[in-house]
């Protein structure tokens, strides 16, 4: 429930009958008699008895209303004992209750009626059946539970604190004195609450939670809600009692037992915000507090809904599987996603921390207050939170220019979405593995990009009103895709209606938007084409005088029109694309919705060129047939500033994407980058540099030495003026600083003498100071990488890595160590990562990825993964982000047929053992496309370079 001291701005359903009404029926539950009459049709429990439920999803016959949860972790023996009382409501008579439970030892289970509790009668013992394949237990009751009554299920259970990063697990850190300390922390999303307590572990089963935690005096306990009291027990133990939570899903429950220190502030609306970290890292928490207070205040204002809890804790966890987790009121973070060290955190590090905080705070509304009905619509959580990073940081930290970063959010997912192995944003997910795999670039990035496109289409005002409508209507409830589209179609809130029943809230909409509405464009009709089908459209433009012939196709990387598979892969795909364009004769933004395969647009006047997807607000790629590309390239060379800066970035991006689909020749795309010598926009320079650098690394890894050398000479000559203009400092705007880092990193990697000289000088000074010299943060990784090339420097960096209390610095050192050309050193890093003491296991995936990108380490990393697969599975769950990153990170850059065969054989062996992931198919589609790209484009690249140098 909402704290009575906070402002009530919407009604909360507190009566449990209301809860019953709004929970949809998702299964037709077979009566208990059916189980009794046909037990052979059901699975077999671990004790050999028939298990009374066949489905992966829980029945909706019994629903939870309230959990009383008691937990006592022992941080010495590394286990915990616990008990719970679940208040349930029976919708249909039944003889069993199905719960989720995984790796828990249930010692006792009993059932109480309301009458039992009222008169303190003993409960009825329940027979507990376990079916681990579905991570379910069945509580068999002696007498049928009657419909429309409440009951109370009491369970005693125990387990070891988990070894990985899921459920209720242990995490360790080392103090400056070298002492290793242990904490206990939870991470439940999406399906791991069942590892901590038996529960209805699906997002639809929202309930209230009252939590009690027993601990030693040297520790503190944190949970979703504020602590209301602490009881002293015999033996010196303490028991903390926390306020009852608002109604929420199990995956948002959280509790921590630790010895952390905090810094605290309060928002203008009275929310107490605290940042927690291990004592030696307390000094790195202050930026996070400042950012959290700003962002929380922004969201309360933007959503017109106060944050519903009295407090918000953000905690830096020493061992954490993902970047962060949005537990309501107790958000947990990897240390590098929350802590900022002024001495070692670069401009990008600070941007990253701000971004992650903004993301998790957005979840307090999108995901926590309104939750998707099922994991197939996880994008409603993650896509929105990713999009709100852009909105919130632009408002609170405009100097970070987050909209520049957002361009890469969309570029990154286009790489994935242009493969046939992609999936729709809203996609079927049944098993825990399938659910975990939904947490990918499509759900996060594509979700955010289509929301940005929709905002541009509707107008900011209408989009914001639609979001507010959606959040207020479904507060403390669950929602699905259609609920969002309906809210965005009908943005009239109660206060917008006149006495006559008319809504004038859209009076400020643009005339273009009104034209769209007059054409009866439905938001739902348009947006389902983006959420229910996979892929990204290609808009083909052919300009003939004042006429524009438009055609839409499905864009597929590595699939050419002459391929026999092309036509079949195109069938059934049609998007409603909100096009925007500008022309050489009109810099204004023109709009048009392309709803058919082909269409024609007539321009009001003759124009030399037309540019679609203005400011990159649309999620589509554009190909200009005929002389279209030539005219745009001519304009870039004559006066590039005529085109908007984001449009220039878009042209660079689309040109190289089109090369991969055989629509544009590589030399034409490379010619387009020639104008960059006059470019001053950081993002455009970085985008052009990114493609050229990727070609260099591809050639280097394949040991195509002549092209590698020529590319090196071309890069150093072509970018020399901008490289030489860089200072070895932290001066300038955020993006000036990021350009500096990228250019100097490349220059030193290419052995550019002035760069190597300066980095070596700074590293020598750092060594002489015993690591105490403050090197500018934006060049720190570069200096360390050059220093790591000598045995003495490498060993010193590894020693410093072990002592450093800055996660930002440790990341830079680890990257530097991974650039060594000595395989025995790279192997030592992998061994340390597997051991998990000096290099934490959480960093193993990124370490293997970095080593695999090193030409001297690519085979080493790949062979290690193949030979140590079983050991890796003991450290990471098969479907975890870490394992998926390890697989793609060590294979997706391969570009030879021998490597493809090795990967295919390995994946086949895993499938034979029953292991299958979507990432296998992604990799097996990516490698042949890399091979094909080289075969088609290597001669062109070789010739182009010979001409240019």
DSSP string, 199-214: B--STT--BEEEEEEE
pLDDT computed for residue 122 by the predictor? 87
Residue 709, helix vs strand vs coil:
helix
3-state secondary structure 525-544: HHHHHHHCCCCEEEEEEEEE
DSSP 8-state secondary structure symbol assigned to residue 825: H
Check: CB of residue 428 under 8 Å from CB of residue 331. no
Percent of the chain with pLDDT over 70: 93
Catalytic residue among 87, 192, 243, 360: 360
Q: What is the arithmetic mean of pLDDT over 590-594?
A: 96
Q: What is the arithmetic mean of pLDDT over 557-579?
A: 94
Q: What is the arithmetic mean of pLDDT over 191-211?
A: 98
pLDDT computed for residue 4 by the predictor? 30
Residue 20 confidence (pLDDT) above 70: no
DSSP 8-state secondary structure symbol assigned to residue 58: P
Residue 30 confidence (pLDDT) above 90: no
387-392 contacts at long range (C-beta below 8 A, 24 or more positions apart): 387/447, 387/448, 387/451, 387/452, 388/299, 388/358, 388/359, 388/362, 389/355, 389/358, 389/359, 389/362, 389/448, 390/448, 390/452, 391/302, 392/295, 392/298, 392/299, 392/302, 392/358, 392/361, 392/362
DSSP 8-state secondary structure symbol assigned to residue 503: B
Q: Dihedrals φ, ψ of 790, to 5°?
A: -100, 155
Give the pLDDT band of residue 520 (cuts 50, 70, 90): very low
DSSP 8-state secondary structure symbol assigned to residue 233: -
Residue 344 confidence (pLDDT) above 50: yes
What tokens appear for 517 in the block? 């509405």
d(CA 842, CA 845): 7
Strands (E), 475-632: 477-479, 536-544, 547-555, 577-583, 586-594, 598-602, 610-612, 621-624
DSSP letter for each residue of 367-401: TTTEEESSGGGTHHHHHHHHHHHHHHHHHH-GGG-
Burial of 363 (0-12, 13-18, 19+ CB in 10 A): buried
Q: Dihedrals φ, ψ of 372, to 5°?
A: -65, 150
Run of H or E residues at 265: strand 261-266
DSSP 8-state secondary structure symbol assigned to residue 495: G
**More confident position, 36 or 58:** 58
Residue 731, helix vs strand vs coil:
coil
Residue 517 confidence (pLDDT) above 80: no
Run of H or E residues at 69: strand 62-74
pLDDT computed for residue 59 by the predictor? 97
What tokens appear for 685 in the block? 């320079």
| Least confidently predicted of 291-300, 338-347, 489-498, 656-665 | 489-498
Check: CB of residue 94 under 8 Å from CB of residue 147. no
Residue 886 confidence (pLDDT) above 50: yes
Q: What is the arithmetic mean of pLDDT over 529-535?
A: 97
Residue 655 confidence (pLDDT) above 50: yes
pLDDT computed for residue 667 by the predictor? 97
pLDDT computed for residue 455 by the predictor? 96
d(CA 620, CA 554): 10
What tokens appear for 768 in the block? 């002489």
d(CA 52, CA 40): 10
What tokens appear for 590 in the block? 């023109």
pLDDT computed for residue 10 by the predictor? 27
Q: Dihedrals φ, ψ of 112, to 5°?
A: -120, 140
d(CA 581, CA 587): 9
**Residue 563: Cβ within 10 Å count:** 13
Of 878, 873, 807, the closest CA to residue 173 belongs to 807
Residue 95, helix vs strand vs coil:
strand
pLDDT computed for residue 40 by the predictor? 60
CA atoms within 13 A on the CB side of 40: 0
360 is catalytic: yes
- What is the length of the chain? 949
Of 268, 212, 264, 207, the closest CA to residue 237 belongs to 212
d(CA 375, CA 710): 49
What tokens appear for 68 in the block? 């009383």
Q: What is the arithmetic mean of pLDDT over 520-525?
A: 76
pLDDT computed for residue 3 by the predictor? 31
Residue 19 confidence (pLDDT) above 60: no
Residue 494 confidence (pLDDT) above 50: no
How do 220-223 and 255-258 pair as beta strands?
antiparallel
- List pLDDT tens digits, range 460-469: 999 999 999 9
Enumerate residues 6+ apart whose C-beta is below 8 A from 769: none
Residue 642, helix vs strand vs coil:
helix
pLDDT computed for residue 33 by the predictor? 54
d(CA 239, CA 236): 10
The stretches of 733-779 forming alpha helices (DSSP H) are 734-749, 753-768
Strands (E), 442-527: 477-479
Check: CB of residue 649 under 8 Å from CB of residue 612. no
**Residue 781: Cβ within 10 Å count:** 25
Q: Dihedrals φ, ψ of 227, to 5°?
A: -75, 135
Residue 66 confidence (pLDDT) above 90: yes
pLDDT computed for residue 518 by the predictor? 34
d(CA 400, CA 716): 29
Tokens 């490349």 label which residue?
Answer: 746
**Residue 241: Cβ within 10 Å count:** 17
Enumerate residues 6+ apart whose C-beta is below 8 A from 650: 613, 616, 622
Q: Dihedrals φ, ψ of 431, to 5°?
A: -80, 160
Of 437, 405, 434, 557, the closest CA to residue 887 belongs to 437
Check: CB of residue 126 under 8 Å from CB of residue 91. no
What tokens appear for 126 in the block? 């329940």
Residue 169, helix vs strand vs coil:
strand
Rg of the chain over Cα atoms, rounded to whole angstroms, equals: 29
pLDDT computed for residue 587 by the predictor? 86
Burial of 605 (0-12, 13-18, 19+ CB in 10 A): exposed
Whether the CA torsion 273, 279, 283, 287 is positive or negative: it is negative
DSSP letter for each residue of 118-168: HTTPPPEE-EEEEEGGGTEEEEEEEEEEPTTEEEEEEEEEEEEPBSSSSEE
pLDDT computed for residue 34 by the predictor? 53
Give the pLDDT band of residue 490 (cuts 50, 70, 90): confident
Residue 26 confidence (pLDDT) above 50: no
Percent of the chain with pLDDT over 90: 90
pLDDT computed for residue 521 by the predictor? 55
Check: CB of residue 335 under 8 Å from CB of residue 281. yes
Check: CB of residue 326 under 8 Å from CB of residue 261. no
Residue 189 confidence (pLDDT) above 60: yes
Q: What is the arithmetic mean of pLDDT over 337-358?
A: 97
d(CA 550, CA 636): 23
pLDDT computed for residue 11 by the predictor? 28
pLDDT computed for residue 38 by the predictor? 61
Residue 547 confidence (pLDDT) above 60: yes
pLDDT computed for residue 32 by the predictor? 52
pLDDT computed for residue 24 by the predictor? 35
Residue 485 confidence (pLDDT) above 90: yes
pLDDT computed for residue 437 by the predictor? 95
d(CA 167, CA 185): 8
Give the pLDDT band of residue 574 (cuts 50, 70, 90): very high
Q: What is the arithmetic mean of pLDDT over 498-510?
A: 38
In the predicted model, what is the mean pLDDT of the chain?
92
Residue 692 confidence (pLDDT) above 80: yes
Q: What is the arithmetic mean of pLDDT over 633-659?
A: 97
d(CA 649, CA 188): 40
Enumerate residues 6+ apart whose C-beta is below 8 A from 35: 42, 50, 52, 95, 96
User: Helices 918-948 and 705-718: crossing angle, nearest 10°?
Assistant: 70
């Amino acid at each position: 429930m909402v704290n009575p001291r906070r402002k009530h701005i919407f009604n909360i359903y507190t009566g449990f009958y209301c809860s019953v009404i709004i929970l949809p029926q998702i299964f037709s539950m077979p009566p208990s008699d059916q189980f009794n009459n046909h037990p052979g049709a059901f699975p077999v429990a671990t004790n050999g008895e028939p298990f009374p439920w066949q489905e992966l999803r829980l029945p909706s016959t019994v629903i939870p209303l309230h959990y009383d949860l008691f937990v006592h972790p022992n941080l010495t023996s590394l286990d915990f004992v616990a008990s719970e009382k679940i208040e349930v409501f029976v919708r249909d008579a039944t003889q069993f209750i199905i719960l989720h439970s995984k790796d828990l030892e249930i010692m006792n289970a009993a059932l109480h009626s309301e009458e039992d509790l009222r008169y303190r009668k003993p409960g009825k013992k329940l027979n507990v059946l376990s079916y681990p394949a579905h991570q379910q237990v069945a509580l068999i009751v002696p007498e049928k539970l009657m419909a429309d009554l409440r009951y109370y299920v009491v369970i005693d259970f125990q387990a070891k604190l988990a070894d990985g990063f899921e459920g209720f697990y242990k995490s360790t850190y080392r103090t400056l004195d070298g002492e290793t300390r242990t904490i206990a922390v939870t991470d439940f999303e999406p399906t791991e609450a069942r590892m901590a307590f038996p529960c209805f572990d699906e997002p639809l089963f929202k309930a209230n939670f009252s939590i009690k935690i027993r601990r030693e005096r040297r520790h503190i306990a944190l949970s979703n809600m504020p602590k209301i009291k602490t009881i002293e027990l015999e033996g010196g133990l303490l028991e903390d009692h926390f306020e009852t939570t608002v109604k929420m899903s199990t995956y948002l429950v959280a509790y921590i037992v630790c010895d952390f220190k905090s810094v605290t502030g309060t928002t203008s609306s009275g929310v107490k915000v605290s940042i927690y970290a291990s004592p030696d890292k307390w000094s790195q928490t202050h930026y996070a507090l400042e950012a959290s207070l700003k962002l929380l205040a922004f969201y309360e204002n933007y959503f017109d809904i106060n944050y519903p809890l009295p407090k918000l804790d953000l905690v830096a966890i020493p061992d954490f599987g993902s970047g962060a987790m949005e537990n309501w009121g107790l958000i947990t973070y990897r240390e590098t996603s929350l802590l900022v060290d002024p001495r070692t955190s670069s401009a990008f590090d600070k941007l990253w921390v701000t971004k992650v905080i903004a993301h998790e705070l957005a979840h307090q509304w999108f995901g926590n207050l309104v939750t998707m009905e099922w994991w197939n619509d996880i994008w409603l959580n993650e896509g929105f939170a990713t999009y709100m990073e852009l909105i919130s940081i632009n408002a609170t930290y405009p100097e970070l220019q987050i909209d520049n970063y957002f361009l890469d959010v969309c570029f990154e997912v286009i790489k994935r979405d242009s493969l046939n192995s992609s999936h729709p944003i809203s996609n079927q997910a049944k098993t825990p593995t399938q659910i975990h795999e939904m947490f990918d670039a499509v759900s996060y990035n594509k979700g955010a990009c289509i929301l940005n496109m929709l905002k541009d289409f509707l107008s900011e005002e209408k989009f914001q009103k639609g979001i507010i409508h959606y959040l207020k209507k479904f507060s403390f409830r669950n929602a699905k895709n259609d609920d969002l589209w309906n809210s965005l179609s009908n943005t009239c809130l109660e206060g917008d209606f006149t006495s006559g029943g008319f809504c004038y809230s859209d009076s400020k909409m643009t005339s273009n938007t009104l034209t769209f509405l007059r054409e009866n464009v439905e938001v739902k009709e348009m947006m389902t084409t983006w959420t229910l089908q996979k892929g990204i459209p290609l808009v083909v433009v052919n300009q003939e005088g004042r006429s524009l012939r438009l055609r839409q196709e499905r864009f597929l990387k590595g699939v050419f029109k002459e391929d026999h598979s092309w036509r079949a892969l195109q069938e059934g795909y049609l998007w409603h694309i909100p096009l925007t364009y500008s022309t050489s004769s009109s810099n204004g933004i023109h709009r048009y919705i392309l709803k058919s395969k082909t269409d024609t647009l007539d321009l009001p006047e003759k124009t030399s060129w037309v540019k679609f997807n203005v400011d990159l607000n649309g999620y589509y790629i554009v190909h200009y047939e005929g002389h279209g590309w030539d005219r745009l390239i001519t304009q870039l060379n004559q006066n590039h500033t005529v085109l908007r800066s984001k449009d220039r970035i878009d042209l660079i991006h689309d040109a190289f994407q089109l090369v991969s689909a055989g629509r544009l020749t590589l030399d034409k795309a490379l010619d387009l980058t020639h104008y960059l010598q006059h470019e001053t926009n950081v993002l455009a320079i970085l985008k052009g540099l990114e493609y050229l650098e990727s070609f260099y690394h591809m050639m280097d890894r394949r040991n195509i030495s002549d092209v590698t050398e020529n590319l090196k000479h071309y890069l150093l000559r072509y970018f020399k003026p901008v490289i030489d203009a860089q200072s070895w400092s932290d001066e300038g705007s955020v993006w000036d600083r990021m350009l500096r880092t990228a250019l100097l990193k490349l220059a030193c990697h290419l052995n550019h003498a002035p760069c190597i000289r300066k980095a070596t000088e700074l590293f020598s000074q750092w060594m002489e100071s015993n690591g105490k010299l403050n090197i500018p943060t934006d060049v720190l990784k570069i200096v360390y990488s050059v220093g790591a090339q000598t045995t003495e420097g490498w060993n010193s960096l590894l020693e410093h890595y072990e002592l450093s209390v800055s996660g930002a610095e440790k990341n830079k050192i680890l990257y530097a160590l991974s650039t060594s050309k000595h395989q025995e050193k790279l192997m030592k890093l992998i061994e340390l990562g597997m051991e998990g003491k000096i290099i934490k296991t959480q960093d193993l995936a990124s370490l293997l990825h970095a080593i695999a990108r090193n030409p001297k380490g690519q085979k080493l990393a790949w062979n290690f993964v193949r030979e140590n697969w079983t050991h890796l599975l003991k450290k990471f769950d098969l479907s975890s982000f870490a394992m998926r990153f390890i697989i793609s990170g060590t294979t997706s850059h391969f570009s030879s047929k021998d490597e493809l065969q090795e990967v295919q054989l390995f994946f086949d062996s895993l499938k034979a053992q029953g292991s299958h992931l979507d990432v296998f198919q992604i990799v097996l589609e990516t490698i042949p496309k890399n091979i094909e790209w080289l075969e088609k484009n290597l001669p062109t690249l070789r010739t182009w370079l010979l001409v240019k140098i």
